Structure 1
């Protein structure tokens, strides 16, 4: 018994030799081989901000003294005013030639000579002869309507005969100029570029007659205005073309009868 007890090793004194766990090696991907010629990038400095190109005019203006820069608008304005005066002189010359010799008298050379300007000036301000004629026609119409408004704008109230006399005299102005005006008006029937100007003349005359009838107490509807305006235009053209000594007196009588026919409460005498 004693010998057996000596051979028994108590559990609390028994030691167990533990084997440490074996760690498995984790395979890591092999680094990719880099070519021998590849070099790491070298940082470059940022480019300067882009600048707008400076025009020669601005650069010159910056380098010029302040006094020169201030004088530039004045010089430019004077140049523009000179161009306006030259163009108006050419148009005035064309209008004069229309009254003196008619449609055929208006040529580039004749207009430049009358205006006292170089021949090249006409082609500079007007693209062609038709353009020159159209603008001369427009100027004629504008001046004629302005003169008619001035003569009829302060029309005082009065009897029928006085109104007829004023209307009959409304177009009794410069006969040569009106000859050129009517010649271009007829030419507008063949030239579409002149038609809009001819219509502006008719519309302007209608507007003037409408205001005259309104102030005088007459009906001023579309029919009455067209009736009186058409009558005046026919008498006007007849007087300009025929130049009869008694044409003005005849015109007054006809206009008076026309006004009597549209006046409310008035009977037209036989």
Structure 2
């Protein structure tokens, strides 16, 4: 099964548990510039814009905007019923709708701003989704995609690749990483330009610094490829990964680099 298949994505995001583990990992062990201030700077919202967040997950981004006093309409869309249920309960001031990115249930020209944060690499048909994004934006409306750049957390994936020859079950993790190539800075610029006629890309560099192998293993185990394994296989794979990670940790912990790409456009 493809790491980017609808069934795989549905299994991974049926609830917010896996996403929460990864989000908390980034919050706890992250160093360097934070994502949210960078997003706020790029959007430069006045507070009265109608904003649609596609792939909203638990709705934290539009929920944050609402809690800060954003006056315009805030809507979050996600394919997962579990995510929509969680988001609705957590952020009562935001509208949440279950829908696919390539079939948005809104009239043409509904929104001033559309955000797609860390979700386009899960979409089977990115050009169709981008066409929908352009359709529901008003003339002059702004689009922002946040995605992982190529080489994102490469130190971690190098360790996984080292273990794969002895533990073929880990190949699924590398396939899940390959899914990120569906939309990255390498092809995303051309895809967005095709949909909008203009595009601008910039980057944010930061890192994770892990104090021990435990949090790294928890991060990897939040991914569907390992969750599908039988209990005894998961235990064996965890031990193999732990052995491969052990030599990476010095007195200052293990630094894993991150680079995120911001791809912006404006509807003409």
TM-score bracket, normalised by the shorter chain, equals under 0.3
Q: TM-score, normalised by structure 2?
A: 0.27
Greater per-residue strand proportion:
2
Larger Rg: 1
Greater per-residue helix proportion:
1
Higher relative contact order (CA 8 A, sep 6+): 2
Q: TM-score, normalised by structure 1?
A: 0.27
